[in-house]
Amino acid sequence: MINLTKRQNEILKIVKESGPITGQQIAEKLSLSRAALRPDLAILTMAGNLDARPRVGYFFNHNYEVKLQAEKFLHQKVSDYKAHPIVVGKSTSVYDAIVQLFLEDVGTLYAVDETGQLAGVISRKDLLRTAIGNRNLSELPVSVIMTRMPNIVTIHPDETLLEAAKKMIANHIDSLPVVKEADHEKDTYLLLGRITKTTITRAYLEIMEVKSG
Ligand code: ADP
């Protein structure tokens, strides 16, 4: 992505509003000579912002703009979009976890240990699987059924939404805990937030400037 000069941005605006438009017409609008404008038009055409057609003039390349927006979307930082994690203690009962899932209207809960470090992930399917087993859900702690460390796929706040999306798709999961390493030796992590498929979808709509109803 290159940074455009003030004049190049003015040219883009003119072509966006009035294209197709000839080089001569753009020059007139900017009170410049055609020759003075030539290097800028060459740069904008080469970079893909503009398309040029012989004897017709310059067109604004909408595909290029969409591509830039899409790139911008993928490079957003996890820290700017993460949501609040919904947390339960790892000795919480499966029954209470199910209640919590409904109360908080989420698909995944995170379990933490006594010191607040990430201990496990409990998803809808984990809870359903346990519930159809007809066990005593009020007596069974979530620690028995959760996905634990070191099997939890995590993401760091400095990583991008692109990396988050890739991890979710590659691992067939709906969400990622956002964590920062607490103790490298012990492989423990502090829970900072969560990224879900909804987070990614919302960020996409926001950056592409689409109204979400
Ligand atoms: P659902 O159960 O609604 O399909 P997921 O697809 O997220 O939700 O979960 C599928 C399985 O993957 C569950 O067993 C869950 O514990 C586990 N899981 C979910 N998120 C993660 C994660 N970030 N890292 C490792 N395992 C996960």
pLDDT of residue 8: 95
pLDDT single digits (tens) 28-87: 999 999 999 999 999 999 989 999 998 899 999 988 888 888 888 889 999 999 999 999
Position 103 pLDDT exceeds 90: yes
pLDDT single digits (tens) 8-31: 999 999 999 998 999 999 999 999
pLDDT of residue 114: 87
Ligand 1, atom 14: nearest CA belongs to which residue? 126
Nearest 5°: the CA angle 209, 84, 189 is 120
**pTM for this prediction:** 0.78
State the burial class of residue 88 (Cβ atoms within 10 Å of its Cβ: 0-12, 13-18, 19+).
Answer: buried
pLDDT of residue 65: 81
Ligand 1, atom 6: nearest CA belongs to which residue? 173
Nearest 5°: the CA angle 53, 54, 60 is 25
Q: Name which of 196, 200, 150 is nearest 173 in CA terms.
A: 196
Residue among 106, 110, 130, 147 to mutate when testing ligand 1 (max atoms within 8 A of CB): 147
List, chain by chain if needed, residues with CB within 6 Å of any ligand 1 atom. 107-108, 121, 123-126, 147, 151-153, 172-177
Ligand 1, atom 10: nearest CA belongs to which residue? 173
Which is the closest atom of ligand 1 to the Cα of 121? 16
